[in-house]
Amino acid sequence: MTQHVVPTRLYVQIFGALLALTALTVLVSFFDLGGGRLHYANAVAALTIAVTKATLVMLYFMHVRWSSRLTWVFVGAGLFWLLILVVLTLSDVFTRHWIPALPPWGLTSLQ
């Protein structure tokens, strides 16, 4: 059976990178990067770091980098469907302010 055996040094380097990115995302969260009421810039920074970390885990720890083309197709299809779920839902929610789909029920319920 042919299997790619990853050198220990590479695993430790990925581990180090993941810890450094964790420290970075905590550090960045203390600063207001702007983006208005919802702090979009902070959310984008946090998600960018999280996606980078997840990519490192998938490529190296989960061996996707050395996996068969068929595995790539499966993983790619899964992530593409996730993108459909997230993007279509959010583009709908974020562009329909005229529909009171989410009333501030916390405020009214106290009266």
Tokens of 3: 């299997």
Which residue from 65, 66, 71, 91 is in contact with another protein, where contact means CB under 8 A? Answer: 71
Spatial distance between the Cα atoms of 13 and 54, rounded to a whole number of angstroms: 15
DSSP H or E stretch at residue 54 = helix 40-56
Cα 22 to its chain centre, rounded Å, is 13
Q: Minimal distance in Å, beta carbon 20 to another protein?
A: 11
**What's the token pair of residue 69?**
């083309």
Any residues with CB less than 8 A from the CB of 41 and at least 6 apart, and which? 33, 34, 35
The correct pick among 54, 65, 91, 96 for binding another protein (CB under 8 A) is 54
C-alpha distances in angstroms, 111 versus 28, 101, 103? 38, 20, 14
20 binds another protein (CB under 8 A): no
Q: Determine the size of the site formed for another protein (CB under 8 A).
A: 59
Is 18 near another protein (CB under 8 A)?
yes
Q: Give residues in contact with another protein (CB under 8 A).
A: 1-3, 5-6, 8, 11-12, 14-15, 18-19, 22, 25-26, 29-32, 37-39, 42-43, 46-47, 49-50, 53-54, 57-58, 60-62, 67-68, 70-71, 74-75, 77-79, 81-82, 85-86, 89-90, 93-94, 102, 104-107, 109-110
